[in-house]
Chains A and B, each alone.
Chain A
């Protein structure tokens, strides 16, 4: 089974998030970039399928600075990488468009991606690629079985429920976090990755559908903040719990 994995090089939401001086973008200082967490599960799932069924795993990244993430995927076990050195900012449509263009000569059975990116949380690219290629698709997948010419997947619904669906290949599947336990990159993997190919494909997006007007910190803060050292705040918490009859 030949699998294309879409992997985004994305800032970690746990790193320092500030608005840049233009008021329309994120200040890159303080951001720590890595493979998008959901895509880490997607690449792991692809490698597991390959290990069981054979075939090839090709990882695709968009962005001028996505090399580290592509190399990480190669070190985990992907066979080769396609880099699309285009910075598409916030517009998922553009991202999907350049991916569609870059993979048009690839022969694949499955496109796997994370269900969303950890920075933009759009959850659009995978499905947009499916729409542009007229492929069947399923999102938020938490379990995937390969059958003869078919996939049987479990999709996450609300309230702990799931639905089981089948779809024929070729198709597009986006995975939910927790679908597997992604492997760590080994020293051997890193060595092997150096011999693997990374092809650059230059494609220009034609459409832009969104324009950022403003970026800002959300207006929150309603909690009453308790200050002091650990012992002091613990004491204050005890008092609050006592007042409420909770202890």
Chain B
């Protein structure tokens, strides 16, 4: 198979998902090639890094490509693919990748599957992906086609071999002015507590039910010498400030203890806390995906377990 991987970078950093997608491409390509595409203003450093893992790296450079723009990405990729027909295009399932991939797939008339965690090419193209925020999984067969587009979940295809390929300048320039214009990047909000520095995090999720219950988590956190953080629903509801959000779109934390209370464990969240030294999860749903990443799990009601824990800690502290 001829497999193209659209590399992702932002603010002078190559996203490691780019290499992970090349790992996948190298296992699937058979007699074919793994070919990275890097789009930007000055892509030499990224191209060199990508070439370690790709048979070919295509550079597409222009001043107007300095910052990601979905219209220009699709425009230059369509030009590249007009003369270099891909069997499969891999794109990162990130904020930008998941944004332009459906648009590209539609323009290529290519079947599309997003947030893919497994690919099988023995009989046509089959993929595995999660549903219901990780609670269910499905294997899908994509309709036979000349080209397929997949977006790939980060952190799945970490193992790979080197390819040491060549870098080529595609000589492609955007053919139009985009309707959408990039204005600026906005830095993360800085709050009073930096949760990435905490040894102990008491994290709350949807199961905390109401803003008035946040106090309970605060009490426990104080007894453990830690801080309170939250998953997306808690932040969306305004029960904790944005800088307390753990997950891909928030903070990545690695405390000594991560106590997850009423957090189901959507992938978004898990990627932000899975490397914590000790993870203990309390959730009333025995099938909650959080138990897949926790070291210890308790199927139970946080409003029964936490007060008991608080009482016992108070006794110890005298």
- Judge: A and B partners, yes or no: yes
Chain B 118-145: CB-based contact to A (< 8 A → 1; otherwise 0) = 0000000010001111111111111101
Contact A26 B305 (CB under 8 A): no
Q: How many A-B residue pairs have CB under 8 A?
A: 254
Specify which chain B residues have a CB less than 8 angstroms from the CB of A139 in the assembled complex.
95, 98-99
Question: Do B299 and A225 touch (CB < 8 A)?
Answer: yes
Contact in complex: B189, A160 (CB < 8 Å)? yes
* A residues 227-247 touching B (CB-CB < 8 Å): 230-231, 233-235, 237-238, 240-241, 244, 246-247
Docked CA distance A189–B274 (Å): 44
The interface of chain A, by Cβ under 8 A from chain B, is 11, 13-14, 17, 19, 26, 90, 92-93, 118-124, 127-128, 130-132, 136-140, 152, 154-168, 171, 177-178, 181, 208-218, 220-226, 230-231, 233-235, 237-238, 240-241, 244, 246-247
Whether B138 lies near A159 (C-beta < 8 A) is no
Give Cα A220 to B281, complex, Å: 14
Q: Of B114, B140, B187, B278, which contacts A161 at CB under 8 A?
A: B187
Chain A contact residues, majority secondary structure: mixed
Once bound together, how far apart are the Cα atoms of A157 and B94, in whole Å? Answer: 8
- With contacts A13-B135, A19-B136, A165-B183 taken as known, whether A121 is within 8 angstroms of B95 at the C-beta atoms is no
A247 and B249 contacting across the interface, CB-CB below 8 Å: no
From B70, B106, B187, B313, contact of A238 by CB (8 A): B313
Given A124-B112, A246-B257: A225 and B142 interface contact (C-beta under 8 Å): no
Complex Cα gap A152–B184 (Å)? 11
Is the C-beta of B309 less than 8 angstroms from some C-beta in chain A?
Answer: yes
List chain B residues, Cβ under 8 A from A138: 99, 180
Q: Are A165 and B133 in contact (CB under 8 A)?
A: no
Residues of B within 8 A of A218 (CB): 130, 134-137, 289, 292
Q: Judging by beta carbons under 8 Å apart, are B252 and A223 in contact?
A: no
Contact A209 B142 (CB under 8 A): yes
Q: Is the CB of B305 within 8 A of A241?
A: no
List the 5 closest pairs (A to B, CB-CB), nearest first: A160-B188, A220-B292, A178-B236, A223-B297, A131-B106
For residue B123, give the distance in angstroms from its CB to the closest CB of chain A: 10
Q: Which residue of B lies closest to A211 (CB)?
A: B141
Asked if B29 CB lies within 8 Å of chain A CBs, one says no
Interchain CB contact under 8 A, B312 and A234: yes
A214 touching B138 in the complex, CB below 8 Å, given contacts A14-B206, A225-B298, A233-B305 = yes
Residues of A within 8 A of B292 (CB): 218, 220-223
Q: Are A152 and B183 in contact (CB under 8 A)?
A: yes
In the complex, the chain A residue whose C-beta lies closest to that of B99 is A139
CB distance from B86 to the nearest CB of A (A): 17
Query: What residues of B have a CB within 8 angstroms of the CB of A118 in the complex?
Result: 132-133
CB distance from B37 to the nearest CB of A (A): 19
- Residues on B with C-beta less than 8 A from A181 are 238
Q: Bound complex: CA of A17 vs CA of B256, how far in Å? A: 33
Q: Do the beta carbons of B143 and A164 come within 8 Å of each other?
A: no
Whether A210 pairs with B113 at a CB distance below 8 angstroms is: yes
